[in-house]
Amino acid sequence: MKKINLPKELVSFFDTNLKELEENYPGINKIVLLRFLDDLGVDQYLGATEEIHTKLLKGIPLEYITKKKFFYDFEFSLNEDVLIPRFETEILVHEAINLIKEKSINSVLDLGVGSGAIFINILKYLKENSLKMNHLHASDISQKALDVCEKNLTKLTWNKALGQTELIKSDLYKNINNKYDLILSNPPYIKENADRAGVHRQTDAYEPHIALYLADREYDAWFDDFFKNTFNNLNENGYFIYEGHEDHLESQAKQLDSFGFKSIELIKDLTGRYRFIKAMKNKEV
Protein backbone atom coordinates (compact mmCIF):
# COMPACT_ATOMS: atom_id res chain seq x y z
CA MET A 1 0.00 0.00 0.00
CA LYS A 2 1.26 3.48 -0.86
CA LYS A 3 1.95 5.77 2.10
CA ILE A 4 -1.15 7.96 2.39
CA ASN A 5 -2.80 9.93 5.15
CA LEU A 6 -6.51 10.02 5.71
CA PRO A 7 -7.84 13.44 4.63
CA LYS A 8 -9.38 15.39 7.56
CA GLU A 9 -12.80 15.26 5.80
CA LEU A 10 -12.77 11.46 5.92
CA VAL A 11 -11.56 11.30 9.54
CA SER A 12 -14.26 13.67 10.70
CA PHE A 13 -16.93 11.81 8.67
CA PHE A 14 -15.74 8.51 10.17
CA ASP A 15 -15.74 9.83 13.77
CA THR A 16 -19.20 11.42 13.42
CA ASN A 17 -20.86 8.41 11.74
CA LEU A 18 -19.01 5.49 13.31
CA LYS A 19 -22.17 3.79 14.63
CA GLU A 20 -23.99 3.81 11.26
CA LEU A 21 -20.83 2.79 9.42
CA GLU A 22 -20.25 -0.16 11.75
CA GLU A 23 -23.77 -1.47 11.05
CA ASN A 24 -23.05 -1.69 7.35
CA TYR A 25 -19.35 -2.41 7.31
CA PRO A 26 -18.55 -4.99 10.01
CA GLY A 27 -15.05 -4.43 11.39
CA ILE A 28 -14.61 -1.01 9.79
CA ASN A 29 -11.75 1.03 11.26
CA LYS A 30 -9.21 3.58 10.09
CA ILE A 31 -6.99 0.90 8.52
CA VAL A 32 -9.95 -0.29 6.42
CA LEU A 33 -10.59 3.34 5.45
CA LEU A 34 -6.94 3.75 4.42
CA ARG A 35 -7.17 0.70 2.19
CA PHE A 36 -10.44 2.03 0.75
CA LEU A 37 -8.82 5.37 0.02
CA ASP A 38 -5.81 3.68 -1.55
CA ASP A 39 -8.12 1.74 -3.91
CA LEU A 40 -10.28 4.77 -4.67
CA GLY A 41 -7.54 7.36 -5.05
CA VAL A 42 -7.28 10.42 -2.81
CA ASP A 43 -8.00 12.78 -5.73
CA GLN A 44 -11.19 10.94 -6.60
CA TYR A 45 -12.27 11.15 -2.94
CA LEU A 46 -11.53 14.87 -2.68
CA GLY A 47 -13.27 15.50 -6.03
CA ALA A 48 -16.51 13.79 -4.91
CA THR A 49 -16.38 13.88 -1.11
CA GLU A 50 -20.11 14.41 -0.48
CA GLU A 51 -21.14 11.82 -3.04
CA ILE A 52 -18.83 9.22 -1.48
CA HIS A 53 -20.04 10.01 2.05
CA THR A 54 -23.64 9.51 0.85
CA LYS A 55 -22.72 6.13 -0.63
CA LEU A 56 -20.99 5.11 2.60
CA LEU A 57 -24.03 6.10 4.67
CA LYS A 58 -26.25 4.04 2.36
CA GLY A 59 -23.98 1.06 3.07
CA ILE A 60 -22.92 0.46 -0.53
CA PRO A 61 -20.12 -2.14 -0.38
CA LEU A 62 -16.68 -0.48 -0.47
CA GLU A 63 -15.70 -2.62 -3.48
CA TYR A 64 -18.63 -1.24 -5.52
CA ILE A 65 -17.48 2.30 -4.70
CA THR A 66 -13.82 1.70 -5.56
CA LYS A 67 -14.86 -0.71 -8.37
CA LYS A 68 -12.05 -3.09 -7.53
CA LYS A 69 -11.09 -6.00 -5.33
CA PHE A 70 -7.87 -7.93 -4.95
CA PHE A 71 -8.58 -11.67 -4.88
CA TYR A 72 -5.96 -14.44 -4.60
CA ASP A 73 -3.34 -13.02 -6.98
CA PHE A 74 -5.13 -10.47 -9.16
CA GLU A 75 -6.85 -7.11 -8.83
CA PHE A 76 -10.34 -7.42 -10.30
CA SER A 77 -12.43 -4.64 -11.79
CA LEU A 78 -15.95 -4.88 -10.43
CA ASN A 79 -19.39 -3.40 -10.64
CA GLU A 80 -22.83 -4.21 -9.21
CA ASP A 81 -23.43 -6.83 -11.92
CA VAL A 82 -21.06 -9.29 -10.25
CA LEU A 83 -20.60 -10.82 -6.83
CA ILE A 84 -17.72 -9.37 -4.82
CA PRO A 85 -15.22 -12.27 -4.69
CA ARG A 86 -15.05 -13.73 -1.17
CA PHE A 87 -11.91 -14.60 0.71
CA GLU A 88 -13.01 -18.24 1.32
CA THR A 89 -13.27 -18.93 -2.44
CA GLU A 90 -9.47 -18.72 -2.48
CA ILE A 91 -9.57 -22.26 -1.04
CA LEU A 92 -11.31 -23.45 -4.21
CA VAL A 93 -8.64 -21.76 -6.37
CA HIS A 94 -5.94 -23.38 -4.23
CA GLU A 95 -7.51 -26.87 -4.58
CA ALA A 96 -7.85 -26.40 -8.34
CA ILE A 97 -4.22 -25.36 -8.69
CA ASN A 98 -3.11 -28.41 -6.68
CA LEU A 99 -5.00 -30.67 -9.11
CA ILE A 100 -3.47 -28.89 -12.11
CA LYS A 101 -0.03 -29.43 -10.54
CA GLU A 102 -0.54 -33.09 -9.73
CA LYS A 103 -2.93 -34.57 -12.29
CA SER A 104 -3.29 -34.65 -16.01
CA ILE A 105 -5.62 -31.68 -16.56
CA ASN A 106 -5.90 -30.33 -20.09
CA SER A 107 -9.22 -28.58 -20.05
CA VAL A 108 -11.07 -26.46 -17.51
CA LEU A 109 -14.57 -25.00 -17.23
CA ASP A 110 -15.51 -22.40 -14.59
CA LEU A 111 -19.33 -22.37 -14.49
CA GLY A 112 -20.80 -19.13 -13.08
CA VAL A 113 -17.62 -17.14 -13.68
CA GLY A 114 -18.88 -13.74 -12.44
CA SER A 115 -15.97 -11.27 -12.37
CA GLY A 116 -13.55 -14.08 -13.28
CA ALA A 117 -12.27 -14.49 -9.72
CA ILE A 118 -11.54 -18.22 -10.03
CA PHE A 119 -10.94 -18.42 -13.78
CA ILE A 120 -8.46 -15.57 -14.13
CA ASN A 121 -6.37 -16.77 -11.20
CA ILE A 122 -6.17 -20.19 -12.88
CA LEU A 123 -5.05 -18.51 -16.12
CA LYS A 124 -2.43 -16.55 -14.19
CA TYR A 125 -1.09 -19.74 -12.60
CA LEU A 126 -0.88 -21.43 -16.02
CA LYS A 127 0.98 -18.48 -17.50
CA GLU A 128 3.42 -18.25 -14.61
CA ASN A 129 4.18 -21.95 -14.98
CA SER A 130 4.33 -21.99 -18.79
CA LEU A 131 1.42 -24.45 -19.02
CA LYS A 132 -1.08 -24.62 -21.89
CA MET A 133 -4.46 -26.30 -22.14
CA ASN A 134 -6.82 -27.40 -24.91
CA HIS A 135 -9.88 -25.64 -23.52
CA LEU A 136 -10.11 -22.88 -20.95
CA HIS A 137 -13.79 -22.05 -20.82
CA ALA A 138 -15.87 -19.96 -18.45
CA SER A 139 -19.63 -19.51 -18.51
CA ASP A 140 -22.34 -17.44 -16.91
CA ILE A 141 -26.08 -17.00 -17.33
CA SER A 142 -25.61 -13.23 -17.03
CA GLN A 143 -24.26 -11.30 -20.03
CA LYS A 144 -23.47 -8.38 -17.73
CA ALA A 145 -21.28 -10.63 -15.58
CA LEU A 146 -19.53 -11.93 -18.71
CA ASP A 147 -18.85 -8.32 -19.74
CA VAL A 148 -17.09 -7.69 -16.41
CA CYS A 149 -15.11 -10.91 -16.80
CA GLU A 150 -14.16 -9.92 -20.36
CA LYS A 151 -12.89 -6.58 -19.06
CA ASN A 152 -10.70 -8.39 -16.53
CA LEU A 153 -9.58 -10.87 -19.16
CA THR A 154 -8.40 -8.11 -21.49
CA LYS A 155 -5.89 -7.08 -18.79
CA LEU A 156 -4.22 -10.45 -19.50
CA THR A 157 -2.94 -9.65 -22.95
CA TRP A 158 -1.37 -13.11 -23.11
CA ASN A 159 -4.51 -15.16 -22.28
CA LYS A 160 -5.04 -16.41 -25.85
CA ALA A 161 -1.59 -18.01 -25.80
CA LEU A 162 -2.69 -20.46 -23.09
CA GLY A 163 -5.03 -22.45 -25.32
CA GLN A 164 -8.66 -21.92 -26.19
CA THR A 165 -9.88 -19.25 -23.81
CA GLU A 166 -13.59 -18.70 -24.28
CA LEU A 167 -16.48 -17.07 -22.42
CA ILE A 168 -19.85 -18.73 -22.99
CA LYS A 169 -23.28 -17.34 -22.13
CA SER A 170 -25.19 -20.32 -20.82
CA ASP A 171 -27.83 -21.35 -18.31
CA LEU A 172 -26.00 -24.24 -16.64
CA TYR A 173 -24.87 -26.53 -19.50
CA LYS A 174 -27.42 -25.52 -22.17
CA ASN A 175 -24.83 -23.93 -24.50
CA ILE A 176 -21.83 -25.97 -23.42
CA ASN A 177 -20.76 -28.56 -25.94
CA ASN A 178 -17.42 -29.74 -24.60
CA LYS A 179 -16.15 -32.14 -22.00
CA TYR A 180 -13.55 -31.11 -19.45
CA ASP A 181 -10.91 -32.62 -17.17
CA LEU A 182 -11.75 -30.13 -14.42
CA ILE A 183 -15.04 -28.33 -13.75
CA LEU A 184 -15.04 -25.57 -11.12
CA SER A 185 -17.98 -23.62 -9.81
CA ASN A 186 -19.09 -21.21 -7.16
CA PRO A 187 -22.78 -21.31 -8.07
CA PRO A 188 -25.68 -19.50 -6.39
CA TYR A 189 -26.34 -21.68 -3.34
CA ILE A 190 -28.46 -19.74 -0.84
CA LYS A 191 -32.11 -20.76 -0.43
CA GLU A 192 -34.06 -17.56 -1.06
CA ASN A 193 -36.28 -17.99 2.02
CA ALA A 194 -34.90 -20.68 4.31
CA ASP A 195 -31.32 -19.31 4.31
CA ARG A 196 -32.08 -15.59 3.94
CA ALA A 197 -31.67 -14.74 7.64
CA GLY A 198 -27.98 -15.67 7.45
CA VAL A 199 -27.27 -13.16 4.67
CA HIS A 200 -25.85 -9.77 5.69
CA ARG A 201 -28.29 -7.01 4.72
CA GLN A 202 -25.60 -5.19 2.73
CA THR A 203 -25.12 -8.31 0.57
CA ASP A 204 -28.87 -8.74 0.15
CA ALA A 205 -29.36 -5.07 -0.75
CA TYR A 206 -26.52 -4.57 -3.21
CA GLU A 207 -25.14 -7.80 -4.68
CA PRO A 208 -26.85 -9.43 -7.68
CA HIS A 209 -29.53 -11.88 -6.51
CA ILE A 210 -28.87 -14.13 -9.50
CA ALA A 211 -25.40 -14.73 -8.04
CA LEU A 212 -26.74 -15.54 -4.57
CA TYR A 213 -30.16 -17.14 -4.47
CA LEU A 214 -32.17 -20.07 -5.75
CA ALA A 215 -35.89 -20.46 -5.04
CA ASP A 216 -36.41 -22.91 -2.16
CA ARG A 217 -38.83 -25.10 -4.14
CA GLU A 218 -36.39 -25.35 -7.09
CA TYR A 219 -33.24 -25.83 -5.06
CA ASP A 220 -32.89 -29.63 -5.14
CA ALA A 221 -33.99 -29.89 -8.77
CA TRP A 222 -31.51 -27.15 -9.77
CA PHE A 223 -28.65 -29.04 -8.14
CA ASP A 224 -29.88 -32.35 -9.68
CA ASP A 225 -29.64 -30.71 -13.09
CA PHE A 226 -26.26 -29.15 -12.24
CA PHE A 227 -24.73 -32.38 -10.92
CA LYS A 228 -26.14 -34.66 -13.63
CA ASN A 229 -24.82 -32.41 -16.39
CA THR A 230 -21.51 -31.85 -14.66
CA PHE A 231 -21.06 -35.63 -14.61
CA ASN A 232 -21.90 -35.86 -18.31
CA ASN A 233 -19.55 -32.97 -19.20
CA LEU A 234 -16.55 -34.43 -17.41
CA ASN A 235 -13.96 -36.48 -19.25
CA GLU A 236 -13.03 -39.88 -17.84
CA ASN A 237 -10.99 -39.35 -14.64
CA GLY A 238 -12.22 -35.75 -14.54
CA TYR A 239 -12.57 -33.69 -11.36
CA PHE A 240 -15.33 -31.42 -10.05
CA ILE A 241 -14.84 -28.85 -7.28
CA TYR A 242 -17.58 -26.49 -6.15
CA GLU A 243 -18.43 -24.17 -3.31
CA GLY A 244 -21.73 -24.60 -1.49
CA HIS A 245 -23.77 -23.77 1.58
CA GLU A 246 -22.59 -25.33 4.82
CA ASP A 247 -26.14 -26.48 5.67
CA HIS A 248 -26.66 -28.31 2.38
CA LEU A 249 -23.31 -29.85 1.49
CA GLU A 250 -23.78 -33.11 3.36
CA SER A 251 -27.06 -33.89 1.58
CA GLN A 252 -25.48 -32.77 -1.70
CA ALA A 253 -22.67 -35.27 -1.19
CA LYS A 254 -25.40 -37.97 -1.25
CA GLN A 255 -26.93 -36.37 -4.36
CA LEU A 256 -23.52 -36.51 -6.07
CA ASP A 257 -23.15 -40.16 -5.12
CA SER A 258 -26.55 -40.93 -6.66
CA PHE A 259 -25.34 -39.43 -9.98
CA GLY A 260 -22.28 -41.69 -10.02
CA PHE A 261 -19.57 -39.37 -8.66
CA LYS A 262 -16.71 -41.10 -6.86
CA SER A 263 -14.11 -40.06 -4.25
CA ILE A 264 -16.47 -37.41 -2.86
CA GLU A 265 -14.64 -35.22 -0.35
CA LEU A 266 -15.99 -32.38 1.78
CA ILE A 267 -13.51 -29.56 2.35
CA LYS A 268 -13.59 -27.05 5.21
CA ASP A 269 -12.96 -23.31 5.09
CA LEU A 270 -10.52 -21.65 7.50
CA THR A 271 -13.23 -21.37 10.18
CA GLY A 272 -13.65 -25.16 10.16
CA ARG A 273 -17.00 -25.24 8.31
CA TYR A 274 -17.60 -27.54 5.35
CA ARG A 275 -17.88 -25.24 2.33
CA PHE A 276 -16.55 -27.13 -0.70
CA ILE A 277 -16.86 -30.53 -2.36
CA LYS A 278 -14.31 -32.22 -4.55
CA ALA A 279 -15.46 -35.28 -6.50
CA MET A 280 -14.35 -37.43 -9.42
CA LYS A 281 -16.07 -38.99 -12.38
CA ASN A 282 -14.24 -42.28 -11.77
CA LYS A 283 -12.77 -43.86 -8.71
CA GLU A 284 -9.23 -42.66 -8.07
CA VAL A 285 -6.76 -45.46 -8.80
Ligand X SMILES: C[S@@+](CC[C@H](N)C(=O)[O-])C[C@H]1O[C@@H](n2cnc3c(N)ncnc32)[C@H](O)[C@@H]1O
| Contact set with ligand X (CB under 6 A) | 82-83, 85, 89, 111-115, 117-118, 139-142, 145, 171-172, 186-188, 210-211
Strands 213-214 and 234-243: unpaired
Residue placing its CB nearer to ligand X in the complex, 22 or 224: 224
Amino acid at 247: D
Q: In angstroms, rounded to a whole number, what is the distance separating the alpha carbons of residues 258 and 253? A: 9
Residue placing its CB nearer to ligand X in the complex, 139 or 235: 139
Amino acid at 224: D
Residue placing its CB nearer to ligand X in the complex, 169 or 262: 169
Q: In angstroms, rounded to a whole number, what is the distance separating the alpha carbons of residues 61 and 107? A: 35
Residue placing its CB nearer to ligand X in the complex, 186 or 235: 186
β-sheet bridge partners, residue 164: 135
Q: How far is the CB of 5 from ligand X (least distance, A)?
A: 32
Q: How far is the CB of 161 from ligand X (least distance, A)?
A: 23
Q: How far is the CB of 243 from ligand X (least distance, A)?
A: 7
List Cα–Cα distances, 258 to 103, 112, 216, 252, in angstroms. Answer: 25, 23, 21, 10
Q: How far is the CB of 81 from ligand X (least distance, A)?
A: 8
Cα torsion through 245, 248, 253, 256, rounded to 10: -90
Q: Is 96 helix (H, G, I), strand (E, B) or coil?
A: helix
Q: How far is the CB of 207 from ligand X (least distance, A)?
A: 9
**Nearest residue to 121 (alpha-carbon basis) of 159, 151, 172:** 159
Residue placing its CB nearer to ligand X in the complex, 7 or 187: 187
Cα torsion through 19, 10, 84, 60, rounded to 10: 60
Residue placing its CB nearer to ligand X in the complex, 111 or 277: 111
Residue placing its CB nearer to ligand X in the complex, 212 or 266: 212
- Contacts (Cβ under 8 Å, ≥6 apart) of 102: none
Whether residue 285 contacts residue 265, with contact meaning beta carbons closer than 8 Å, is answered with no
Q: How far is the CB of 281 from ligand X (least distance, A)?
A: 20
Q: How far is the CB of 148 from ligand X (least distance, A)?
A: 9
